Structure 1
Amino acid sequence: MKVLHVFKTYFPDTFGGIEQCIYQLCKGGGEYGVEGQVLCVSTQRSGSLFFEGHRVFYAKSNFTLLSTPFSLSIILSLRKLVAQVDIVHYHFPWPFMDVAHFLVRCDKPVVISYHSDIVKQRWTLELYRPLMNRFLSSASAIVASSPNYLESSPVLQKYKDKVSVIPIGLDKNSFPVPTPKRMLYWRSRLSPRFFLFVGVLRYYKGLHTLLEAAKKCGYPIVIAGSGPEEERLKEQVIELGLANVLFVGQVSDEDKVALLTLCTATVFPSHLRSEAFGISLVESAMYARPMICCEIGTGTTYINIDQLTGFVVPPEDSNSLAIAMCKMWEDSDACYAMGQAAFIRYKEMFTSESMARRYAELYRDLL
């Protein structure tokens, strides 16, 4: 069975949660007779290449508007590839994808993984809504990544009869084991205990609240990642006079695993629904680390269960966040127990194997 995944970007150009989801499906699908291919837009390359066992097709981007890349060549590529596969699997949102789908007149079963509501461009959403509704209506099946998001999304509620819930999963074996040299490097740079944030530094990550909490609790905090908010956050560190926050920039997978192995707990203070799932939380659970996140009605509190795998606090509430960090810091036994509970939950619900198997069952049902 051949499945074509379609999204606006992919590895190795960009490394986000949706790209990770597609990657894990392509890597894990082979065990269930699913051959995954990827079609995306790129500003860096065109043509195709094999990326860790699966074929990726890159269409040249013509321009980008409101975070949406436009590509005329992807329409021709989509038409050609649709004829060669059994299932077309779109990863929403990407409005230009909807246009391409209808221009190609796709006649194969269509799966749409609904990764997020459109949150930031609300005024353009009203213009896009008719096309979006037509696109979602045309799908053979829609997948939400958590029951929380299904229940809290007014868009998904309209299509509830065709929505399945399949959480995004990760394969721990696909992550590198840090060398003793890298572990020694990080131990020499960092405090013996610290809180960790890993992710792209975007507007919805709530890191301004984490810095306010850092002022109140004083514990060491490591922020791994880069992004559009980086300079503003560093300015806030200076304004608050913080000496307990360390920015280490974007890190490799090996270094990320080293940091997850060494940290006391992870903090994920995203405060807007643009954070639809939280791959970083799955990574934290995969390495048996307790978590602190915010209740925003999305998958973050499906992964992290309050008082079981960590703590859940109100969004943009630095006092509650600081209190949760204090509880975790001061009670090592409870912290360890939460980490173990997080790992058990990962094994039960958030493995790549489980995700690939459930998608393969969905594909076969449609065929």
Structure 2
Amino acid sequence: MKVLHVYRTCYPETKGGLEQAIRYICKGSGEQGISNTILTLGSENKEYDFEGSRIIVIKKNLEISSNGFSFKLIQRFRQLSKEHDIIHYQYPWPTGDLLSLFAYKKPSLVSYQSDIVKQKLLKKIYQPLEQYFLSRVDRIVASSPQYAQTSENLIKHRNKVDVIPLAIDESTYPEIDDGVVTTWKERVGRGFFLFVGVLRYYKGLQYLVEAAKISGLPVVIAGDGPEREALQDYIKQHELTNVKMVGFISEEDKVALHTLSKAFVFPSHLRSEAFGISLVEAQMFGKPIVSADIGTGSSYVNKNGETGITVPPADGALFAQAMQQLANDDELCQRLGQRARERFNKEFTAKRYADNYIALYHQLTTSS
């Protein structure tokens, strides 16, 4: 069986959460005899093999609102669609929707990662193509039951929606020596509340620093992004010596910070946060989580009272209360962290993820 994956980027070209998800599907299915090709865009034309998958990068000609395009991409996609048995798209990526118009008739599916929330004007222009695309693919995969039940697009096409939660591959995380942990311990201490991620508008980090102001508890924010300056201004204005922003970190640094932390905090307050792969990472490290319940995949990962504590979104005071509850109860932290690790083992391993997609691929080829 040959599967063609289509997305604007891929691992190792870039190393975000979705790129990793595509990587795990290809790696896991490749180990079971499926041949994978990834067609993507980049700064130059190139082709190479990675972890058993064929990666074809087409030079990007232009980009509008993070949506890249190349005329050569259409020609190459049409050729590859003829050679493969299944076409696997990712949403949202309008260029992928456009490419589907040029595909040879083959079984197809799309992994639906998130609704388009912010670009409302462009969404109206794009909507006819989007709806045509979603109506033509054979299956749509949501990343959580919550998203499948609350997304207008997924509700509209509920008769062909499957749910396959995202996952991570523990074997890809580095083992670190004690020196790295010691260096970070000297810099930020231990027993802090950790956030790791891109500092974006929907991450609700203003409520996290407000919670830190209210509670006085130690918080470490790792990552960079558009909200960095606003957060730094708030921290300076309120003299929050208990909040440390450490910027972008390596994978080794991330392991060290999780090792030293008491719990993971995830204050995302808008539906733009469709899942939150960093929550799964925290569970892999056996850490309890404090998160906002926004009714998306993040609410699926962190179960209130089982793997952590959830609070209503956009409420710094309630977030502070939940943090204080964990700070005051080491036994509760240990119990929630243990259950978090158990949930990771059951729901979020890369093997489980790949196996579910393999089963879906077989369904598509046998029913076509």
Q: Distance in 2 between matches of 1:63 and 1:231?
A: 29
Q: Which amino acid aligns with 2:41?
A: V
Taking only aligned residues, the RMSD between alpha carbons, in angstroms, comes to 1.4
**Residues in 2 aligned to 1:54 and 1:188: alpha-carbon distance in whole angstroms:** 42
- The equivalent of 1:58 in structure 2 is 57
What's 2:305 paired with?
307
TM-score with structure 2 length normalisation? 0.96
Aligned positions of 1:319-338 closer than 5 A: 319-338=317-336
**1:291-316 deviation line (CA, Å, top 9, x unaligned):** 11111110001000001100111111
TM-superposition CA deviations, 1:216-235 (whole Å, max 9, x none) = 11111111111222222222
Alignment match, 2:26: 26
In 2: Cα distance, 1:121 partner to 1:309 partner:
34
What whole-Å deviation, never above 9, does each CA across 1:45-78 have from its counterpart, x for those lacking one? 3212233442222121222212222222221221
Give SS of 2:194's match.
strand
Alignment partner of 2:237 out of 236, 239, 248:
239
1:82 counterpart residue number: 81
The offset of 1:167, in angstroms, is: 0.7
State the match for 2:38 in structure 1. 38
Secondary structure of the residue aligned to 2:231 is helix
The CA distance in 2 between the partners of 1:154 and 1:23, in whole Å, is: 28
SS in 2 for 1:32: coil
Counterpart secondary structure, 2:48: strand
Give the Cα separation in 2 of the matches to 1:26 and 1:255: 27
Show the 5 A alignment for 1:4-153: 4-43=4-43, 45-102=44-101, 104-153=102-151
Counterparts in 2 of 1:117-266, with a 5 A limit? 117-266=115-264
Letter of the structure 2 residue corresponding to residue 21 of structure 1: A
Name the aligned partner's letter for residue 14 of structure 1: T
CA contact (8 A) 2:91 2:114 kept: yes
SS at match of 1:360: helix
Could you tell me which runs of 5 or more consecutive residues in structure 2 were left unpaired when the two chains were aligned. Answer: none
Change (3 A) 1:365 1:72: same
CA distance in 1, matches of 2:31, 2:238: 52
Give the equivalent residue in structure 1 for 2:338.
340
Secondary structure of the equivalent of 2:115? coil
For residue 248 of structure 1, report the CA deviation from its aligned partner.
1.6
> Which secondary structure does the structure 1 equivalent of 2:357 belong to?
helix
Deviation string for 1:21-63 (max 9, x for gaps)?
Answer: 11111222223322322222123x3212233442222121222
Distance (whole Å) between structure 1 residues aligned to residue 163 and residue 185 of structure 2: 40
Contact 1:2 1:87 in 2 (8 A): yes
- Conserved? CA contact 2:30–2:52, under 8 Å: no
| TM-score with structure 1 setting the length | 0.96
Partner of 2:284: 286
Secondary structure of 2:295's aligned partner: coil
d(CA) in 2 for partners of 1:313, 1:34: 42
Structure 1: which 5+ residue stretches go unaligned?
none
CA contact (8 A) 1:42 1:59 kept: yes
Indicate the percent of aligned positions where both proteins have the same amino acid: 46
More displaced 10-residue stretch of structure 1: 81-90 or 353-362: 81-90
Return the letter of the residue paired with 2:140: I
Contact 1:25/1:36 (CA < 8 Å) preserved in 2? no
Alpha-carbon offset, residue 250 of structure 1: 1.5
The CA deviation at 1:106 is 3.1
SS of 1:50's partner is strand
Kindly provide the amino acid, as one letter, of the partner of residue 186 in structure 2.
S
Say which SS state the counterpart of residue 83 (structure 2) adopts. coil
Could you list the per-position Cα deviations for residues 129-162 of structure 1 after superposition, in whole angstroms to 9, with x for gaps in the alignment? 1111100011111100100000011110010000
Where does structure 1 differ by over 6 angstroms across 4 or more consecutive aligned residues? none
Q: Deviations over 1:257-278 (max 9, x none)?
A: 1211221110011111111011
Taking the aligned partners of 2:143 and 2:81, their CA distance within structure 1 comes to: 25
Query: How many residue pairs get matched?
Result: 365
Q: Is contact 2:271–2:294 with CA below 8 Å preserved after alignment?
A: yes
AA paired with 1:155?
N
